[in-house]
Amino acid sequence: MRDIYLLGATGSIGTQVCDIIRAHPEVFNLVTATAHTNIKQLREVINQFHPEYVSVGTHEAKRELQELFPNQEIGVGETGLIKAATYEGSDGLLVNAVVGSAGLMPTYQAVLKGRDIALANKETLVIGGDIIMPLVREKRISLLPIDSEHSALMMCLKNEPKESVTSLIITASGGSFRDKTRAELTGVTVQDALLHPNWSMGAKITIDSATMMNKGFEIIEAHHLFDVPYNRIQAVLHQESIVHGLVEFNDGSMLAHMGHPDMRVPINIALFYPKRIPYQAQQLDLTTLKKLQFDRVSTKRYPLFKLAIEAGKTGGITPTILNAANEVAVMLFLNGKITFLQIEEIVLECLNKFKQTKSLTIEYILETDEVVKDYVHKQYS
Ligand code: NDP
Ligand code: MG
């Protein structure tokens, strides 16, 4: 049995992780689970898996839950998240499916504890990759991606000598507005933005896909995960979302990982690695595919894609500024406070306004995250 510590159990990834745990009761034991506000969904998780410890975002949510489960141990906020991530036990796996920078600290503490990690929370690596990955290597733990493109790259890189790898390529569907020109983005609605053509995901990543910030984040994520320089990682538009990642080798050949878009495939890979386990995914019938298209990503059409890669290359605190501004801007857009195009204006404004003042530490990342988020809230809420 493998113990699972699941952060973000109520989200899009978290509920799919729960389904997989439920399908393999002889393999996994859910020991801790967290939610932020969705008490209804967390109730289901408690009733089904009886975790030893759960945690929620607010004291009010805790009170509500405690009334329903008087004997359940319940934590709150960041302390609760960290406790859930580092909960006692030795051979377990942290599955971090929280959204946003809130995922960094629990990952960091779990790494310090020497716990293996399956990571959906890409923001951890976007803002903290320079600190997390050297620690992962020092502690000799495994940190496996759940993100589909990185899972695909990992499978293509498996058993290949590093020196034969020429470049990494990830694909982008183009998001909900891929058929619109920039001029047509003026006045688009939240509902339109949430209609992703190929994937069903949480609200924040769906908006990040529409702005293509997500693909910029994923280039930073790939850089940290696979220790490959930025000039050897690229993204291509691929509207069918069948090929998820490709690795190019020095003999001119490429390996690609393909399949219908289904996050349970990369989640299964991360949970069972290095084994592949049977899963009834929709079969890929090559004869009905007809064509797979690949195009360049236009940085004029998707300025946040470019800004993210530049922030990654600059490194230090810059990705934290980018991420914090984006996180609040996306939330304000979802709440109808700003327009879609203002997301990129706000990110650009913050990148110009805030600068690195000291060397990178976890504390400095958290402090900057808070300062930038406060600024955007005050200016635009
Ligand atoms: P969701 O919004 O669906 O779920 C987010 C989860 O995190 C929920 O359980 C939510 O709790 C919890 N949460 C939200 N805010 C906080 C906070 N401040 N502190 C602690 N917990 C919080 O997101 P997704 O599942 O879509 O995404 C999760 C992560 O996985 C993201 O980093 C995303 O980029 C990444 N990812 C997602 C993919 C997908 O297909 N969805 C694909 C690839 C990567 P509650 O529900 O109670 O509010
Ligand atoms: Mg992805």
Does ligand 1 lie within 6 Å of residue 123's CB atom? yes
Residues 6 or more apart whose CB falls under 8 angstroms from that of 23 comprise none
Does ligand 1 lie within 6 Å of residue 207's CB atom? no
Beta bridge pairs of residue 54:
33, 74
Mean pLDDT of the chain: 97
Q: What's the token pair of residue 332?
A: 């304000």
Which of 12, 263, 334 should be mutated for ligand 1, with most atoms under 8 A from CB?
12
DSSP string computed for 212-279: THHHHHHHHHHHHHHT--GGGEEEEE-TT--EEEEEEETTS-EEEEE-SS-THHHHHHHHHTTS----
Ligand 2 centroid, distance to 46 Cα (angstroms): 29
Three-state secondary structure readout of 32-77: EEECCCCHHHHHHHHHHHCCCEEEECCHHHHHHHHHHCCCCEEEEH
pLDDT at 189: 97
pLDDT tens figures, 282-315: 999 999 998 999 999 999 999 999 999 999 999 9
Q: If you classify domain 316-381 with CATH, what class do you get? A: mainly alpha
Does ligand 1 lie within 6 Å of residue 75's CB atom? no
User: Nearest CA to 118 among 131, 130, 128, 103?
Assistant: 103
What percent of the chain stands above pLDDT 90?
98
Does ligand 1 lie within 6 Å of residue 94's CB atom? no
Looking at the chain, the domain(s) classified CATH 3.40.50.720 span 2-145
Does ligand 1 lie within 6 Å of residue 14's CB atom? yes
Give the torsion sign (CA, 344, 348, 349, 350): positive
pLDDT at 221: 99
pLDDT at 195: 93
Does ligand 1 lie within 6 Å of residue 106's CB atom? no
pLDDT tens figures, 175-185: 999 999 999 99
pLDDT tens figures, 239-275: 999 999 999 999 999 999 999 999 999 999 999 999 9
Q: What is the mean pLDDT of residues 324-348?
A: 98
Does ligand 1 lie within 6 Å of residue 97's CB atom? yes
**139 to 34, 272, 361: CA distances (angstroms):** 25, 21, 18
* d(C-alpha 79, C-alpha 55), whole Å: 9
Ion ligand 2 neighbours, Cβ < 5 Å: 147-149
pLDDT at 125: 99
Residue 72 phi, psi (nearest 5): -80, 135
pLDDT tens figures, 187-240: 999 999 999 888 889 999 999 999 999 999 999 999 999 999 999 999 999 999
Does ligand 1 lie within 6 Å of residue 216's CB atom? no
**H/E segment holding residue 155:** helix 148-157
pLDDT at 377 over 90: yes
Does ligand 1 lie within 6 Å of residue 120's CB atom? yes
Does ligand 1 lie within 6 Å of residue 212's CB atom? no
Q: What's the token pair of residue 91?
A: 């051979």
Ligand nearest to the CA of 215: 2
pLDDT at 31: 98
pLDDT at 57: 98
Looking at the chain, the domain(s) classified CATH 1.10.1740.10 span 316-381
Ligand 1 centroid, distance to 260 Cα (angstroms): 22
pLDDT at 329: 98
Ligand 2 centroid, distance to 97 Cα (angstroms): 13
pLDDT at 8: 98
Which of 79, 99, 127 should be mutated for ligand 1, with most atoms under 8 A from CB?
99
Q: What is the mean pLDDT of residues 18-32?
A: 98
pLDDT tens figures, 67-85: 999 999 999 999 999 999 9
Looking at domain 2-145, does it have CATH number 3.40.50.720?
Answer: yes
pLDDT at 316 over 90: yes
Q: What is the mean pLDDT of residues 12-23?
A: 98
Q: What is the mean pLDDT of residues 131-147?
A: 98
Inter-residue contact 2 to 19 (CB < 8 Å): no
Ligand nearest to the CA of 222: 2
pLDDT at 325: 99
pLDDT at 177: 96
* d(C-alpha 15, C-alpha 41), whole Å: 9
